[in-house]
Chain A
Amino acid sequence: MKVLVAVKRVIDYNVKARVKPDNTGVDLTNVKMAMNPFCEIAVEEAVRLKEKGVASEIVVVSIGPKVAQEQIRTSLALGADRGILIETDEEVQSLDAAKLLKAVFEKEQPNLVILGKQSIDSDNNQTGQMLAALTGMPQGTFASEVAVEGDKVNVTREIDGGLVTVALNTPAVITTDLRLNEPRYASLPNIMKAKKKPLELTSPADLGVELKPSLTTLKVEEPATRQAGIKVADVAELVDKLKNEAKVI
């Protein structure tokens, strides 16, 4: 079985994001970038499928600037076989990303496409679903367990109030949730080997997709700062504040 995994280069989860002074977006100059955590989980799941002998080839695809090759190289070090970078410096919104992935899907004909449930920069949670709709593939989103049985794949999904398991015919789309697995570190020997693995460069134009952002960002602002707490002298004051200021009792 051939697995296609999509990975995105995003601002590092541990970096405190700062808004640009002109409020047009998040300031990315000299900011540490890394693989989206949900994409790390997607890569790990594919590698585990390969280790179990279920997957025969893992292809990793990323859409973004030239430096996004770093995240593809990381995926190759983790165990993917080859990479594709769809290079663009333009903003890529969910629908365009889904169209680009559809083009790759048609070319590569994988049996499974694994994506993160969302990327932590825009938090849209749309690309996987849109890809499924555009290609007509079944989808198992928010996966916490994936089990392949013949040409079916059982995906346990995290939903409000519990878990639900769906059986999908392949080819299928899976989006990963946090509890699916714990990604491994890239080992240094594997990072060195990964340098020799093939990485193909392509572009939206090569794939016949025109990027057409459908949303316009008006303004980006810092979240409102929380007010500092205060100390009250006694219970009477507390009750008074809860009643008259917070108006909760």
Chain B
Amino acid sequence: MTQEQLIEELKKLLDEGKVRTDNDALQTFGKDWTKIHEPKPIAIVFPKSTEQVQAIVKFANEHNIGLVPSGGRTGLSAGAVATNGEIVVSFDYMNQILEFSGSDRTVRCQAGVVTEQLQNYAEEQGLYYPVDFASAGSSQLGGNISTNAGGIKVIRYGMSRDWVLGLKVVTGNGDILELNKDLEKNNTGYDIRHLFIGAEGTLGFITEATMKLTRQPTNLTVLVLGLADLDNTMNVLQTFQQKIDLTAYEFFSHQAMGHVLAHGDVPAPFEGEAPYYALLEFEAISDGVMDDAMALFEKCVEEGWVVDGVISQSETQAQNLWRLREGISESIAPHTPYKNDISVVVSKVPEFLQEIDAVVTEHYPDFEIIWFGHIGDGNLHLNILKPSDLPKEEFFEKCLQVNKWVFQIVEKYNGSVSAEHGVGLTKKDYLSYTRSPTEIEYMKGIKRVFDPKNIMNPGKVIDL
């Protein structure tokens, strides 16, 4: 069958106009946020129902064509990237909120519902969907679940995984499965739902998800503290955690904040500067909590860990302080950053950070290094910015060389080469720094069960 005939056959499976082969669509939907790889899909399809997705999977099995699931395309590990003549399956037209249950505090959504759409919907019901990060305005629930996205509230609310009660999936075999029946408790053997969470579309498609909601937080208040030294971040965290349940604990370097401030519309937290900053958020439910926060701040100053600090006095100020942290990714994007997203257990963060920082500064003396991250979860984002006069290929080449050093330290500390962004293409070669060879063999075995013909996002996470 020629490619033209194939496309004609494909069109029969979808609604009119929902198969696109124009170059614009191929370029746009063929890649995610990484933009490293040249997109080369043969078509982009937009199913409207689980049954259409199933038909596409059966078609791909029959004709041996790879399928790339595509959500909001904000992924940072080249998971939703088609480089090899695949069909991209976009969930843009499966964006309906299907059912809400106030007494169960659950909401059933199609996979293409945008994260922010779910957050807003929850708020309208007087509830809260706590998974949140800077790309929430574009990322989709299907993508969030497939990458088990974390974000800025993990310290209190956990990862996407913790909010999924039920999934409807189409496996690589073309079977439709309803996983876990939205039950809070269901100990009936292997929980297949959890295999699909974080699978990056390599086992099948998620078409619907039932998500848990929770009560809305009260009076979220933000502190931004200037830290005297990198080592102080953990002392400050532990000091506050002894008395207050934090809903966020983020950190960023002065350079990182500099990029956000250079964009113009956010004010600096205070006049003086500090080498590192911590952003803390908590529910100021009573005057008592506020008094505690003040006393803890005083202690941190007395210990010499903190040099200055501000506290939000209104929602607007809270939002502006958050933008100092949330604006970083976007403000450094023009510098084609090379990103590493690494983690260790919280107690090892200071040593780990020092060691990585030393290696990176030694090997990249001419590169600007931007540190930030969800440090309360032991998660650090290391960003290396491309000098404007260095060609992109040469820059990435150099970054890859140093990856080895960084990942050896990760391995030594029993850490992860990808804390929350997933593996996709960018971290595939480094999987063995975190997963043992035997474990990787088991992963391949699992993949073969659900997707024997390797049509689901082939080449991502692992090679068969």
- Chain A CB within 8 A of B298 CB: yes
- Chain A CB within 8 A of B223 CB: yes
- Chain A CB within 8 A of B316 CB: yes
Q: Is the CB of A35 within 8 A of B301?
A: no
Q: Is the CB of B270 within 8 A of A15?
A: no
Q: B218 contacts which chain A residues (CB < 8 A)?
A: 30
Q: Is the CB of A185 within 8 A of B298?
A: no
Q: A32 contacts which chain B residues (CB < 8 A)?
A: 219, 314-315
- Chain B CB within 8 A of A233 CB: no
Q: CA of A13 to CA of B315 in the docked complex: distance in angstroms? A: 7
Closest to B297 in A: A188
- Chain B CB within 8 A of A62 CB: no
Q: How many residues of B contact A (CB 8 A)?
A: 22
Q: A139 contacts which chain B residues (CB < 8 A)?
A: none
Q: CA of A32 to CA of B319 in the docked complex: distance in angstroms? A: 14
Q: Is the CB of A37 within 8 A of B316?
A: yes
Q: How many A-B residue pairs have CB under 8 A?
A: 56
Residue-by-residue, is B286-321 near A (CB-CB < 8 Å gives 1, otherwise 0)? Answer: 000000001001100100000011111111110101
Q: Is the CB of A12 within 8 A of B267?
A: no
Q: B321 contacts which chain A residues (CB < 8 A)?
A: 185
- Chain B CB within 8 A of A189 CB: yes
Q: Is the CB of B316 within 8 A of A187?
A: no
Q: Is the CB of B319 within 8 A of A187?
A: no
Residue-by-residue, is A26-70 near B (CB-CB < 8 Å gives 1, otherwise 0)? Answer: 000010101101000000000000000000000000000000000
Also in contact, A187 and B313, with CB within 8 A (given A14-B319, A182-B267, A192-B294): no
Q: B39 contacts which chain A residues (CB < 8 A)?
A: none
Q: Is the CB of B223 within 8 A of A188?
A: yes
Q: Is the CB of A186 within 8 A of B313?
A: yes
- Chain B CB within 8 A of A74 CB: yes
Also in contact, A186 and B310, with CB within 8 A (given A191-B294, A192-B298): yes
Q: CB < 8 Å: which of A30, A185, A191 contacts B269?
A: A185
Q: Is the CB of B315 within 8 A of A191?
A: no
Q: Is the CB of B294 within 8 A of A187?
A: no
Q: CA of A187 to CA of B317 in the docked complex: distance in angstroms? A: 12
Q: A34 contacts which chain B residues (CB < 8 A)?
A: 313-316
What are 8 sample pairs from A and B whose C-beta atoms fall under 8 A apart? A14-B314, A14-B315, A14-B316, A14-B319, A184-B270, A185-B312, A187-B309, A189-B301
A-B pairs, top 4 by smallest CB distance, nearest first, are A14-B315, A34-B314, A185-B310, A188-B309
Q: Could you list 18 further interchain pairs (A-B, Cβ under 8 angstroms) beyond the known A12-B316, A37-B316, A189-B308?
A: A14-B314, A14-B316, A15-B315, A32-B219, A32-B315, A34-B313, A35-B314, A74-B313, A184-B270, A185-B310, A185-B311, A185-B321, A187-B270, A187-B308, A187-B309, A188-B309, A189-B301, A191-B294
